[in-house]
Structure 1
Amino acid sequence: MGTGYAPVAPGTVGTILGIPLYLALSLLSQPFHILAILALTGLAVGISQKAEALFRKKDSPHIVIDEIIGLQYTLLPAAQDISLIFCGFLLFRFFDIVKVFPAGWVQDKLPGGYGIVADDVVAGIYGAALLWLLIGFWS
Structure 2
Amino acid sequence: MSSNRLFNLKRPHQFFGLGFGLGLAPKAPGTFGTFAALPFIFTTMYFPLWLQIVFAIVISVFGIWACGKTADDLGVHDHPAIVWDEVAGYYITMIGAALSWQSLLVGFLLFRFFDIAKPGPIRILDRRLHGGLGIMADDILAGIFSLICVQALFKAGYLPF
- So what's the TM-score if we normalise by structure 1? 0.95
Q: 2:79 and 2:36 mapped to 1: Cα distance? A: 18
**Equivalence map 1:88-103=2 (5 Å):** 88-103=107-122
**Equivalence map 1:54-133=2 (5 Å):** 54-133=73-152
Query: Where does residue 16 of structure 2 map in the other structure?
Result: none
Q: Write 1 or 2 for the structure with the bigger share of helix.
A: 1
Q: 1:24 and 1:137 mapped to 2: Cα distance? A: 27
* 1:78 and 1:88 in contact (8 A); partners too: no
Q: CA deviation at 1:72?
A: 1.0
Q: CA deviation at 1:127?
A: 0.5
Residue type of the alignment partner of 1:108: R
Residue type of the alignment partner of 2:25: A
Q: C-alpha offsets along residues 33-70 of structure 1, whole Å, 9 cap, x if unaligned?
A: 11111011100000011011011111100100000000
* 1:77 and 1:131 in contact (8 A); partners too: no
Query: Where does residue 7 of structure 1 map in the other structure?
Result: 26
Query: Where does residue 43 of structure 2 map in the other structure?
Result: 24
Query: Where does residue 42 of structure 1 map in the other structure?
Result: 61
* 1:52 and 1:58 in contact (8 A); partners too: yes
Q: CA deviation at 1:86?
A: 1.2
Paired residues in the alignment total 139
Q: CA deviation at 1:81?
A: 2.1
Percent of aligned pairs sharing the same letter: 34
Structure 2, unmatched stretches of 5+, are 1-19
Q: CA deviation at 1:32?
A: 1.1
Q: CA deviation at 1:27?
A: 2.5
Structure 1, unmatched stretches of 5+, are none
- So what's the TM-score if we normalise by structure 2? 0.82
Runs of 4+ in structure 1 displaced over 6 angstroms? none
Residue type of the alignment partner of 1:55: L
